[in-house]
């Protein structure tokens, strides 16, 4: 079949009501999926590409649809999905016992005010970081490529139409397979995880360690998206954590020495002769993960140091462009941002709203009421200074390594430590006691800053896509604000549902037996309590910081010796420390599978199409399983049954279910990649 160009619509159709509605609907779907995935494994995925594919398939029914209208849908859906990363902080308020559930309007307003600030803070950075900086923006460029070949227009060919249709089916099939497998795991037909823990011989210290992998297609898809470099860096962190520090810190001799100094968390567990799994998991959760926090903190500081020069130059360029506009110079349509006076007005309105939230919180607590003015003023200064800094950092990192890989976790950890230390200063000045309300106040301020960070992280990626397809910046920025609202409304509803069904570690128990790990929220809330309560394990964080410095030096040496071909991203190594081993292992497997798949199609005529199809498959795997498990939470809450599907073949904890699960998972992975390769070849 010949590639016949389609006829381009004459009218520029861009920011339309139907695009905003469709974008909001997709934002709800991707926000729900990302909320569950983030609470389960501590990772979220960029939803721009699957949103673009779905948009093009639906809007094809309208003859007037354009690439720019699809751009609007993708922008709204993408930023709504990104808003879900606020769950790295908000559950901390439940974990510390301040909230029993997530109050709807308070949660929504934290997300909206912080998210809109993320948009307004990133607008002055667009010209510097998107237009002038030579940054790859991997996800933004890929999304532009998908939009270009799939949207109506003069350059759209028959093969592009076929690719768009095939891509939609890849997303659907991937979603169905991952949801179906999750159903069988929930029904106890297959085991959801395979793990083995052992006690080491005395010659190796006599400690304990273990390894496992979670048989979850959502993790496999996330691994495919993060790529081999980040996946192997996480594997390196896992090896150092689980095969060096966990065995060392569970060794009887080391535990005895630590106990004599009052700093071991497992002395009584060792004395009681606990099994190796309990020993290893306890020391990892209570000690080794804090080393990971130290690694991440040092890596984030190093990132800030490296970015100082480019950020100063970028801001200077943005201010110069604003002066040109104010002097009456007419900018091209593709250079027209929301006017700076409107940006300033929106920012001031958000800051007033944030001040209102902080004042409402302080006035409602006897401990803080007398210092409301000091707390609100300090909180707003913190949001402005730290918020703009993290917007710039995350925006730059999104351009450098992509939104999915950008270190928002490290930013959150740094933000809570800084906020907690500042709260100690407020306590000293005002003479207040360090009670739970102080921890909660620090978490709320950090949640606002985190909302700024995650939206700026996503926005600049979307603005790069817009630049490549020649969208109008101010229209796209308007769509970004709409997306913030769509995501914000969904988040407390999903959080309350998951809280009632599963609960979070350290918080009130849910109906199901196993709570959601929420790794970042667990760590951030522990840091806040530790700093303000004065019992934070600074020794462990210090060890992690030293490890982080060593990893930075190693990364620099590898970069220099291999001319950038081999890297060891320090932030990814830190994540390998504090994610559960079963999660990290499957992420690495997914990264390796994605690498083998891309390598297998690299020399074929359909290499570019196949690569895009691989991304869509990974996205479908994440969406299907995540949405199924959100639905499962609703059934658990509605029925009060913690295992509503475990009635089919209840052997999920036995070796037959584990063996069957491993075999079925492996067969499905091979079959899916082979099927996607075949679909790509036919486009």
What is the C-alpha R_g of the chain? 25
First-residue to last-residue Cα distance in the chain: 10
- 575-626: pLDDT as tens digits: 788 777 888 888 899 999 999 999 999 989 888 889 888 988 988 888 788 7
Q: Which pLDDT score, from 0 to 100, does residue 304 have?
A: 66
- 176-195: pLDDT as tens digits: 999 999 888 888 788 777 77
Q: Report whether pLDDT(366) > 70.
A: yes
DSSP H or E segment with residue 652:
none
How far is it, in rounded angstroms, from Cα 534 to Cα 560? 41
pTM, whole model, 2 decimals?
Answer: 0.79
The percentage of residues in the chain with a pLDDT greater than 70, rounded to a whole number, is 86
CB 461 within 8 A of CB 48: yes
- 225-267: pLDDT as tens digits: 878 888 888 899 999 999 999 898 888 888 777 777 666 666 6
List the alpha helices (DSSP H) in 207-288.
217-240, 246-249, 252-260, 267-271, 276-283
How far is it, in rounded angstroms, from Cα 683 to Cα 669? 22
Q: Which pLDDT score, from 0 to 100, does residue 7 have?
A: 43
- 463-498: pLDDT as tens digits: 888 888 888 888 889 999 999 999 999 999 999 988
How far is it, in rounded angstroms, from Cα 585 to Cα 591? 10
Q: Which pLDDT score, from 0 to 100, does residue 345 have?
A: 92
Q: Which pLDDT score, from 0 to 100, does residue 87 have?
A: 85
- 449-458: pLDDT as tens digits: 888 888 888 8
Q: How many CB atoms lie within 10 A of CB 334?
A: 13
Q: Which pLDDT score, from 0 to 100, does residue 2 have?
A: 45
Q: Which pLDDT score, from 0 to 100, does residue 1 have?
A: 44
Exposure pattern of 461-488 as b/e (b: 16+ CB <10 Å)? bbbbbbbbbebbbbbbbbbbbbbbbbbb
* CA neighbor of 76 nearest in space, from 479, 474, 462, 475: 479
How far is it, in rounded angstroms, from Cα 317 to Cα 392? 14
Q: How many CB atoms lie within 10 A of CB 589?
A: 22
CB 594 within 8 A of CB 223: yes
DSSP H or E segment with residue 591:
helix 581-601
- 7-22: pLDDT as tens digits: 444 467 788 899 999 9
Q: Report whether pLDDT(137) > 70.
A: yes
Confidence category of residue 127, pLDDT binned at 50, 70, 90: confident
CB 242 within 8 A of CB 646: no
List the alpha helices (DSSP H) in 264-365.
267-271, 276-283, 289-326, 340-363
* CA neighbor of 501 nearest in space, from 645, 647, 652, 635: 635
CB 234 within 8 A of CB 635: no
Mean pLDDT of the chain: 81
CB 466 within 8 A of CB 71: yes
How far is it, in rounded angstroms, from Cα 168 to Cα 171? 5
- 637-674: pLDDT as tens digits: 887 777 777 765 555 556 677 788 888 999 999 999 99
Share in percent of the chain as helix, strand, coil (round to 5): 75, 5, 20
Confidence category of residue 538, pLDDT binned at 50, 70, 90: confident
Q: Kindly state the DSSP code that residue 568 receives in the 8-state scheme.
A: -
How far is it, in rounded angstroms, from Cα 138 to Cα 128? 17
Q: Which pLDDT score, from 0 to 100, does residue 320 have?
A: 67
Higher per-residue pLDDT: 288 or 410: 288
Q: 3-class DSSP state for residue 208?
A: strand
How far is it, in rounded angstroms, from Cα 535 to Cα 434? 12
How far is it, in rounded angstroms, from Cα 11 to Cα 373? 53
Q: Which of 42-56, 117-131, 325-339, 550-564 has the highest mean pLDDT?
A: 550-564
- 270-318: pLDDT as tens digits: 655 678 888 888 888 778 888 887 887 788 778 667 766 666 665 566 5
Phi, psi (degrees; rounded to nearest 5) at 117: -60, -35
Q: Which of 218-222, 517-521, 635-639, 665-669 has the highest mean pLDDT?
A: 665-669
Max Cα–Cα distance, the chain, nearest Å? 79
DSSP per residue, 82-143: HGGGGGGTTTHHHHTTS-SS--HHHHHHHHHHHHHHHHHHHHHHHIIIIIIS----HHHHHH
How far is it, in rounded angstroms, from Cα 394 to Cα 455? 9
CB 93 within 8 A of CB 99: yes
CB 393 within 8 A of CB 454: no
Q: Mean per-residue pLDDT for 525-535? A: 81
């Amino acid at each position: 079949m010949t590639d016949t160009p389609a006829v381009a619509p004459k009218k520029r159709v861009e920011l339309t009501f139907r695009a905003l509605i469709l974008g909001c609907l997709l934002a709800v779907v991707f926000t729900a999926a990302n909320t569950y995935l983030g609470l389960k494994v501590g990772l979220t995925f960029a939803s721009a590409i699957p949103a673009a594919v779905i948009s093009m398939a639906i809007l094809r029914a309208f003859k007037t649809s354009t690439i720019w209208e699809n751009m609007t849908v993708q922008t709204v859906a993408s930023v709504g999905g990104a808003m879900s990363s606020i769950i790295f902080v908000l559950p901390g308020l439940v974990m510390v016992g301040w909230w029993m559930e997530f109050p709807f309007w308070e949660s929504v307003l934290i997300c909206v005010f912080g998210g809109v600030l993320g948009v307004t803070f990133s607008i002055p950075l667009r010209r510097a970081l998107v237009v002038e900086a030579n940054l790859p923006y991997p996800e933004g460029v890929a999304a532009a490529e998908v939009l270009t070949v799939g949207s109506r227009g003069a350059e759209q060919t028959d093969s592009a139409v076929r690719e768009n249709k095939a891509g939609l089916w890849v997303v659907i099939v991937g979603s169905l397979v991952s949801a179906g497998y999750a159903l069988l795991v929930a029904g106890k037909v297959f085991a959801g995880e395979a793990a083995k823990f052992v006690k080491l011989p005395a010659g190796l210290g006599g400690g304990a360690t273990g390894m496992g992998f979670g048989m979850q297609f959502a993790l496999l898809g996330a691994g495919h998206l993060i790529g081999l470099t980040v996946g192997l860096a996480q594997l390196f962190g896992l090896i150092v954590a689980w095969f060096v520090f966990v065995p060392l810190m569970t060794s009887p001799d080391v535990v005895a020495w630590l106990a004599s100094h009052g700093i071991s968390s497992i002395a009584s567990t060792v004395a009681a002769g606990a099994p190796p799994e309990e020993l290893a998991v306890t020391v990892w959760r209570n000690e080794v993960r804090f080393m990971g926090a130290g690694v991440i903190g040092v890596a984030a500081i190093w990132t800030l140091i490296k970015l100082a020069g480019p950020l100063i130059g970028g801001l200077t360029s943005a201010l110069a462009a604003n002066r040109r506009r104010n002097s009456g110079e007419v900018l091209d349509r593709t250079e027209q941002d929301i006017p700076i006076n409107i940006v300033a007005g929106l920012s001031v309105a958000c800051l007033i709203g944030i001040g209102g939230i902080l004042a409402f919180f302080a006035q409602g607590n006897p401990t803080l009421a007398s210092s409301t003015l000091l707390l609100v003023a300090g909180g707003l200064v913190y949001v402005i200074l730290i918020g703009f800094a993290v917007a710039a950092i995350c925006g730059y990192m999104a351009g450098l390594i992509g939104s999915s890989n950008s270190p928002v976790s490290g930013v959150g950890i740094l933000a809570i430590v800084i906020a907690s230390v500042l709260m100690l200063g407020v306590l000293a000045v005002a003479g207040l006691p360090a009670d739970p309300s102080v921890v909660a106040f620090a978490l709320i301020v950090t949640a606002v800053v985190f909302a700024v960070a995650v939206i700026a992280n996503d926005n600049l990626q979307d603005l790069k896509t817009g630049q490549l397809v020649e969208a109008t910046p101010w229209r796209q920025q308007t769509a970004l604000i709409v997306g913030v609202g769509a995501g914000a409304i969904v988040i407390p509803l999903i959080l309350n549902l998951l809280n009632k069904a599963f609960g979070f570690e350290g918080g009130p128990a849910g109906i199901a037996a196993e709570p959601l790990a929420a790794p970042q929220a667990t760590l951030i809330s522990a840091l806040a309590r530790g700093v303000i309560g004065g019992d934070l394990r600074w020794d462990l964080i210090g060890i992690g910081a030293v490890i982080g410095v060593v990893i930075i030096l190693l990364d620099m040496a590898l970069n220099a010796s291999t001319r950038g071909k081999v890297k060891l991203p320090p932030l990814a190594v830190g994540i390998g420390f504090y994610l559960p081993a079963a999660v990290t292992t499957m992420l690495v497997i997914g990264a390796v599978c994605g690498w083998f798949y891309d390598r297998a199609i690299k020399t074929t005529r359909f290499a570019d199409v196949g690569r895009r199809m691989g991304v869509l498959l990974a996205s479908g795997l994440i969406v299907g399983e995540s949405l199924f498990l959100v639905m499962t939470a609703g059934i658990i809450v509605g029925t009060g049954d913690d295992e509503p599907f475990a009635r089919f073949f209840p052997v999920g904890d036995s070796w037959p279910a584990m063996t069957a699960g491993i075999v079925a998972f492996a067969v499905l992975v091979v079959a899916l990649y082979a099927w996607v390769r075949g679909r790509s070849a036919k486009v």
